[in-house]
Structures are given as structure tokens and as C-alpha cells.
Amino acid sequence: MFTSRAVNRRRPAFTLVEMLVSMGAGSVVMLAVCSTFFFFAKATISLSNYSDLDNASRNALDTITRDIRQMIQLDSYSSNATTIRLDLLATNGTLALVYDRPSKRLTRVYGTQSTVLLQDCDSLNFALFQRNPMGGTYDQYPAATNNLATTCKLIQMSWICSRKILGNTMNTESVQTAKIVIRKQ
């Protein structure tokens, strides 16, 4: 008679401790991969926003420079808590540059056409200067304070734009500043 003996062989498998250690190590690796991915995604979005801000500022500066150089004279300038308005006389109408602080927009109004030049503009300033430079200096002009239509020859403007990414202000464009001379004045 033949009897069989059951051989108690160990089957190859992970023990509970080995499984816990491998899951912990895998979780750390996955966390590192995910955080790297999110960092690069945020950096890419930030770079794209900065490029978009710079492009919008350049286009706005080109448009404003072209418009101011072609104007006949400054018509009026007004500033209050919510808006800054600069009106310029052209040969066939009035051009207005209007900055609305609450909406953070710079708008160009010519006749019945209204065009938004800048959005997300945190601050914008205009400074008006006279036509004759100060003696003994380079590129310094006295401020135009009265009778702007006849004395204002140079308009200096500066602005700062920024955007929010995921609710936080991440991109702030460097200050854009320009001095523009009214050619026909």
C-alpha cells in the first residue's frame, strides 16, 4: 500500500510587511512624480501668461504711440478715484484714452469705436510735460500745469499689469514706461 504524504511547501508571495514597505515606497515615488508634474504645469502656465501680458502691453504701447504722435493737441485730462481720461484732438474727431480702475481696463475710444487695449492693468499713470526741455539737462521737461492745449507737447505714461493663476497673483509684468511727443503740436 502506498500512502502519499502531503508536503507542506511554501508558496512564493509577499508577506504583509513586504507589501506595506513596497506600497509606502511606491507612494513616495508617485508623490514626487505628481508634484514635479504640477510644478512644471504651473511654470508653463505662468510663462504663457507672462508672454501674453508682454504681447498685450507691446500692442497697446504701439497703438497709443501711433495715436498720440498723430494728434493735433491735447484737449483735456481728468483724473478721479475711479477713472483717468486723456482726450486728444485729431483732424477728424477726438480720441480718448480711458482707464477704469475698478475693471482694470484701458480703453481707446475714437468716434463710436471703443477698443480695450489693456486688461488686468493694476495701475496706469499719465504725466504731461511742456514743449521746451529744461536748460542744462537731457530729456527733462517741465510739467504742463495750465493751458494744456497749448503747452503740452510730451505725454509720459506708465502701467503695470498682472494676472492670477489658481486664485493667486503670479505674473506681474515689469513696468511699461514711454515718453511720447505730439508731433503736430
Q: Give me the pLDDT at residue 169, please.
A: 72
Quick check: 17 pLDDT over 70? Answer: yes
Digit-coded pLDDT (tens) for 77-91 = 888 888 888 888 877
Domain ranges of the chain: 16-181
Is pLDDT above 90 for 40?
Answer: yes
- In this prediction, residue 179 carries a pLDDT of 87
Measure the CA–CA gap between 166 and 169, rounded to whole angstroms: 8
% the chain with pLDDT above 70? 91
Read off the pLDDT band of 29 (50, 70, 90). very high
Measured distance between the N- and C-terminal CA atoms of the chain, rounded to whole angstroms: 125
Mean pLDDT calculated for residue range 84-108: 88
Residue 4's pLDDT is what? 65
pLDDT bin (cut points 50, 70, 90) of residue 158 is very high
Model confidence at 132: pLDDT above 70 = yes
pLDDT band at 23 (very low <50, low <70, confident <90, very high): very high
Predicted pLDDT of residue 1: 62
pLDDT for the residue 98: 92
C-alpha torsion 142→146→152→155, nearest 10: 70
Reply yes or no on whether the pLDDT at 180 is more than 90. Answer: no
Q: To the nearest whole percent, how much of the chain has pLDDT over 90? A: 26
pTM of the model: 0.75
Average pLDDT score over residue span 101-122: 91
Distance of CA 157 to the CA centre of its chain: 16
Bridge partners for 123 per DSSP = 160
